[in-house]
Amino acid sequence: MRQYLDLLQDILDHGQRKEDRTGTGTYSVFARQFRHDLADGFPLLTTKKLHFKSIANELIWFLSGDTNTAWLKENGVSIWDEWATESGDLGPIYGAQWTAWPTRDGGSINQIDYVVNCLRTNPDSRRILFHGWNVEYLPDESMSPQDNVRAGRMALPPCHLLYQFYVAAGRLSAQLLIRSSDSFLGLPYNTASLALLTTMLAQQCDLEPGEIIITTGDSHIYSNHLEQVRTQLQRAPRALPKLELLRHPDSIYDYRFEDFAIHGYQPHPHIAAPVAV
């Protein structure tokens, strides 16, 4: 994951001071990209320990279409709690748009079904993608996440918003566009999540996992993460772990956390940092 560490150094060296919605302040660069071949290992960051259970269960939750934190809490994931209402609601965020994009006639479109069908029946298509940027439901930035949910909008707009897939020589590759990338806390999670989703889709569609490509728009480090980033950059990357799928579920929606095994993960210790709300 040297490319990820190079991005952190790039932001430290060249980032412009910018204000942001949370009032924390960031150092930011624009439009960066890195890629990783999944044949070289599963991209779970080794310069600090990541909580793979949170990454996997969040992805399972997205694919279920759920937008309430109750299931996440039952499964040991608390990363969405700060933005939810008292009852755990987050409004029509990722999962709702992925699996039930609302249509004019009152129906909905399951974009994940569309992707799986394309991969199986038309893998050369240039339209194998899904996204969450539904303008009608974007939050009002002048309101709190909770008040946006009460008004029928998303608690937060999607950061990882466009997923595109590409098949060549029996390998499935994926590109993710992240419009706003919290490079210390969020980006390592997004990278591992994309790799996991790509591996799951490859299994479902009788393909081999290929490359993942991450394109970031506003790529930033929060001002209260600078010391943590410097600590991480002093650490040498270790060998990447391997991901094993222990079962072949009937569909992309039937995976459970117990279906995944991470072998050989020997990271440096976790580095705590506050989340900008």
What number is the average pLDDT over the span 261-276? 95
Whether 66 has a pLDDT exceeding 90, the answer reads yes
**CA gyration radius for the chain?**
18
Annotated binding residue 179: yes
Q: Encode pLDDT of 95-124 as tens digits.
A: 999 999 999 999 999 999 999 999 999 999
Please report which helix (H) or strand (E) contains residue 226, including its range.
Answer: helix 226-233
Residue carrying structure tokens 């940027």: 133
Provide CB contacts within 8 A for 252, sequence distance 6+.
63, 112, 116, 200, 201, 204
Residue 181 known to bind ligand: yes
What are the backbone dihedrals phi and psi of residue 257, each rounded to the nearest 5 degrees, phi first? -55, -35
32 marked as part of a ligand binding site: no
- Residue 113: its pLDDT value, please? 98
Q: How confident is the model at residue 81 (pLDDT cuts 50, 70, 90)?
A: very high
Taking the domain 2-263, which CATH number applies? 3.30.572.10
Q: How far apart are CA 244 and CA 246, in angstroms?
A: 6
Residue 21, annotated as binding a ligand: yes
Q: What's residue 277's pLDDT?
A: 80
Residue 57 labeled ligand binder:
no
* 276 annotated binding-site participant: yes
Do 42 and 241 form a contact (C-beta atoms < 8 A)? Answer: yes
Q: Write down the pLDDT at residue 258.
A: 98
Global pTM exceeds 0.95: yes
DSSP string of 148-203, one letter each residue = HHHTTS-SS--SEEEEEEEEETTEEEEEEEEEEEETTTHHHHHHHHHHHHHHHHHH
Whether the predicted pLDDT of 1 surpasses 90: no
Is 219 annotated for ligand binding?
A: no
Q: Which residues are catalytic?
A: 159
Provide the pLDDT confidence category of residue 92 given band limits of 50, 70 and 90: very high
